[in-house]
């Protein structure tokens, strides 16, 4: 199975900050990586797919980069609505696997 | 508008069975693969399994933790996805999400989830 390791697990930030979350795969997944945002009690929402493509309706302050085993999700200027938990997921091979999550808090 | 909506969750005893349903609308259901993903209380996301479309013979994939106990199926006439869960364990307690898979294999639209609690 491909292991996905996210860091940090928790991130404290302020409105307007630039925030970066990292996801590492235990083997190459090319660009078969997605990022999701999840708020408490809600379903995850797709932010980024194919490592760097923006999901439908997702604000441009979100961006993704990377390929192979190293990936990054960047929020260019944190907004109040962005405080949430973020997950990466590889969909290169079965079983699909998620990172452990990064909670972005004030 | 793409929508997927789960139902059928509830409280079940260890060793029992439960069948979850997912109603899909707003897209051509028969074209898409579909996933089930779960989230245990205060934990991260865990992929449960996938069913492919008719063009790919409705073949399935499962996580090791549920293989042999859970079965995914679909009914094109009802635009519905199902998860039959047998021999349930306390560690199967979770919110179960139905997820559409886009044409490039990325899971994109998620339902709101249905709670399954396995407890005596």
pLDDT above 90 (res B103): no
Q: Which of B6, B56, B64, B107 to mutate to test the interface with A (most CBs of A within 10 A)?
A: B107
Average pLDDT in chain B? 97
Q: What string of DSSP letters covers B20-75?
A: EEEEEESS-GGG--EEEEEE-TT--EEEEEEE--GGGTT-EEE-TTTTTTEEEEEE
Q: Do A100 and B44 meet the contact criterion of CB atoms below 8 Å apart? A: yes
A37-70 pLDDT per residue, tens: 999 999 999 999 999 999 999 999 999 999 999 9
What is the distance, to the nearest Å, from the Cα of residue A25 to the centroid of all Cα atoms in its chain? 13
The pLDDT of B85-99, averaged and rounded, is: 98
B16-74 pLDDT per residue, tens: 999 999 999 999 999 999 999 999 999 999 999 999 999 999 999 999 999 999 999 99
* Distance in Å, alpha carbon of B17 to nearest chain A alpha carbon: 24
pLDDT for res B102: 92
- Report yes or no: B27 at the A interface, CB cutoff 8 Å: no
Taking an 8 Å cut-off on Cβ atoms, the answer to whether A98 and B110 are in contact is: no
Residue A101: its chain B contacts at CB < 8 A? 44-45
């Amino acid at each position: 199975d491909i292991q996905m390791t996210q860091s940090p697990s928790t991130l404290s930030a302020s409105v307007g900050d630039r925030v970066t979350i990292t996801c590492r795969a235990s083997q190459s997944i090319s660009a078969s990586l997605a990022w999701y945002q999840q708020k408490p009690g809600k379903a995850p929402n797709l932010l980024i797919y194919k490592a760097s493509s923006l999901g439908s309706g997702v604000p441009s302050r979100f961006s993704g980069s990377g390929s192979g085993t190293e990936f990054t999700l960047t929020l260019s200027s944190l907004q109040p609505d962005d405080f949430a938990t973020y997950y990466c997921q590889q969909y290169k091979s079965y079983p699909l696997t998620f990172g452990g999550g990064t909670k972005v808090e004030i | 508008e793409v929508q997927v909506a789960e139902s059928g969750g509830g409280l079940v005893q260890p060793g029992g069975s439960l069948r979850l349903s997912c109603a899909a609308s707003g897209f051509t259901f028969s074209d898409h693969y579909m996933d089930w993903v779960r989230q245990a209380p205060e934990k991260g996301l865990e992929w449960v399994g996938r069913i492919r479309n008719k063009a790919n013979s409705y073949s399935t994939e499962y996580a090791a933790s549920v293989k042999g106990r859970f079965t995914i199926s679909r009914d094109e006439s009802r635009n519905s996805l199902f998860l039959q869960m047998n021999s349930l364990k306390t560690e199967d307690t979770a919110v179960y999400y139905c997820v559409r898979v886009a044409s490039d294999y990325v899971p994109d639209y998620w339902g709101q989830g249905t709670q399954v609690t396995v407890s005596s």
